Amino acid sequence: MRFGRHATQLIYDDLASDGDNAPDSLRSNATDRSNSVESEVFSSLELSEVSFSYPSSDKPVLEKVSLSINAGEIIGIVGSTGSGKTTLINVMLGLLKSSSGQTLVNGNSVTDNLQALRRIVAYLPQQIFLTDDSLRNNIALGIQSNKISDRTIWAILDKVRLKEFVEDLPEGLDTMVGEHGMRLSGGQCQRVALARSLYHDRSMLVLDESTSSLDGETEKRIITELKELRGEKTIVMIAHRLTTLQHCDRIYSLNENRTLTVVNYEDLLSA
């Protein structure tokens, strides 16, 4: 109990600050939400001269990185293995605090508005989190059972190319996925996670190689679906395959010197 006390306190405080989604026992402790973005959508994200170093390393992972993302754009991020792509995403989302520079979302500092940012962004990391629960509850994670819309889930499953698979399951949406999704393939787990992000209808989707376990044809179809969201949602994706980036409005490349530059899709293919 002592070992887990600190982590439990962090979770408690996080839930207590989550307003309407907080458990009844915590809701009285919820913070003032006048500065939240319950009804706000993503409009812009800006990194200005951002640097980051891990405490155990003398070398910076990011050095004076700057980028800008506007609502409705599809942005690609590329770089060699270990170049710092995931670190860049974590800094953008406020999961890591930059050593220097500034990160602004909708004109406000990420550090001062983490709860607001979480209501805007859906983040799909490389390691997908699934609970030992039904497909329905994994897709609508965090939503009370009596408030889940099966109609919405089926429409989204069609978009992520899982509808036929789930229809063929004896228990359909009630199918248990197992611990960490052990009853599903890696590609199916990724599609369930993508379905979750679409179900929660966030304004901004951040995909960290979230289609890496899919076969080429399935990935192509899902990327086509994501392309249709241009203008409606903002999408940031770290690419596994360069062909994933062909519909991007802008592509950023992390270089060996830990800086960021804009590159053309055609140049990537010929490199």
Model confidence pLDDT, tens digit, residues 131-140: 999 999 999 9
* CA distances in angstroms from 154 to 163, 187, 204, listed in the order given: 7, 18, 21
* CA distances in angstroms from 114 to 4, 10, 35, 37, listed in the order given: 23, 14, 11, 11
Q: Is the pLDDT of residue 52 over 80?
A: yes
pTM: 0.76
Provide the percentage of residues in the chain whose pLDDT is more than 90. 23
Q: What is the pLDDT of residue 211?
A: 67
* CA distances in angstroms from 195 to 70, 153, 178, 210, 222, listed in the order given: 23, 8, 18, 12, 11
For the chain, domain boundaries? 1-31
